[in-house]
Amino acid sequence: MSVSAARRAAFEVVRRVFEQDAYADRALRSATQSLDARERAFAQQLAYGTVQRVRTLDQAIETLGRRPVRKLDPPVLASLRLGAYQLGYLDVAPHAAANESVELVRAARLERAVPFTNAVMRRLAEGMRQLLEQLPEGPLKHSYPDWIYETWLRDFGKDGALDLMRAQNESPETVVRLVRGEIDGEPTDVPGAYRVARVDDQALADGRIWPQSRASQVAALAVGARERERVLDCCAAPGGKAAMLRGHVTAVDLNEARARELEENVRRLGAGDVTVVQADATMLPPELDGFDRALVDAPCSGLGVLAARPDLRWRARPLPELQLALLRAAAARVKPGGVVVYSVCTLNADENEAVVAASGLEPDATLADEWPQFRHPTQPEFLLTLPHVHHTSGFFIARLRVP
C-alpha cells in the first residue's frame, strides 16, 4: 500500500517541527509545493492539527501504547502522532489511518518497528476517543503548556482560560484588508476588513489585498495617523500595519531579511511614503526624532495568535523587558503631546497592562470610545480582543500620550 501524498507531506512537516525546530508554516510550504489545492489543504489540516494537539496525542500514545514517547524512534513517533490525531479528531476511516501510519514507518526503512506501530495503532483505534472524553478539563486535554493555562487562569479565571484554549484550537476566521479594487467577501465591524472563504493568491500577488486579522488592523487604525504627519513604526515587518499608516512613515526592523521583505511588501501594497530602515528600534540613529506618532507592535509571546500558528504554543515566551525598552525608546522619539500606540498579539497581563504601567505614559481613554466593541473588560482605557468573544486574534492595544 502506498502512502497518500498529503499524509507524506504532513509526516515531513511534523518531523521537521519536532526534530529540527522548524516553523510549521515554512515546513508546510516546502513539503506541499508539488501538491494540488485539495491535497495541500488536507496536508495542512493533518500537520497543523498534529503539531497543535501533540501533548494530548503523546498522552494517548503512552497510555494506550504502553511505552514512553521519548524512547520511540522519531519516524515511529511522528507516524503514531499523525495516526492518533486522525483517530481522535478527524472523521477518517480507522483502517486508513492505521495502514498509512504503518506504511510511513516502512518507508522510513524501520521494518523492525512495523509490528509495534501496527499494534499501537490498533489500540489507539479502539481506545482513543474514550481516552479523550475521560481527560479532565485543562491544559492536557486541550494540549497547551501548563504555563499558558496558568497565565490565563490568573488573568481571565477558569472559564475564560478554558474558553480561550478551546477557541484557539479551532481554525481562525480568514480576513483580509482590501487595499484597492473589489472583493468577494463579507464586510466586518472593522472598516476595510473583509471575511473571505480563502485568500486569493493573485489578488495578494497584485497587492490588492493583505491577509490580516481584524484585531491587527485595529492596532494600525488606532494610531490615527494623518497626512503630512511623521510616523514611526517600530518592529514593522512584514509591513501590513506600516502600509495602513498615513503620513511620512519610517518603518524600522532589526532583521536584514525581514527589512527587505518589509520593503517589498509596502511597495507591492502601494504605500508610497514609507521609508524602510534596518536598525535596532531601541537604539535608533539620532536623526530619527521629532515624530508626531509612533506604533510599537512589539515582539511578544503571541498567546493571541496560537490558532493560526500551531507550533507557537511550544516555543512561546514572554518578553516584557524588551517590550518596555521598545516602548520607552519610541516615546523618546515622539514630540511632547504626541501619541504612541503599544500593541501586542498576546493575552498576558505581564506583557500588556504591566508594560504600559511601567512606562509611566498616560493612556488616551478615547481609544475605547472609537472601538467600544473591543473595550478592555476591566481597564476600559485599553482595547483587548479575545478569540472566544470577538472571533479574531487576541490583541492588547493602548494609545498613550507623550508628556
Cβ contact 392:385 at 8 Å: yes
* Distances from the Cα of 364 to the Cα of 104, 301, 397, angstroms: 57, 25, 11
Nearest to 166 by CA among 389, 396, 397: 389
* Distances from the Cα of 382 to the Cα of 105, 116, 160, 189, 358, angstroms: 52, 54, 19, 18, 15
DSSP category for residue 375: B
Cα(359)–Cα(287) distance, rounded to whole angstroms?
A: 23
Instruction: For residue 272, give every residue at least 6 positions away whose Cβ sits within 8 Å of its Cβ, in sequence order, or none.
Output: none
Backbone φ/ψ region at 360: left (φ over 0), alpha (ψ -120 to 50), beta? left
Q: Is 300 a catalytic residue?
A: no
Name the active-site residue from 234, 235, 300, 345: 345
* Distances from the Cα of 85 to the Cα of 23, 125, 384, angstroms: 19, 11, 32
Cβ contact 68:57 at 8 Å: no
DSSP category for residue 41: H
Cell 470577538 maps to which residue?
390
* Cell numbers found for residue 96: 486508513
Q: For residue 304, with 0-12 CB atoms within 10 Å meaning exposed, 13-18 middle and 19 or more buried, which class applies? A: buried
Cα(360)–Cα(401) distance, rounded to whole angstroms?
A: 10
Sequence-ordered strand ranges (E) for 145-266: 175-178, 186-187, 193-195, 209-211, 230-234, 248-253
Residue type for position 258: R
Catalytically active residues, by annotation: 345
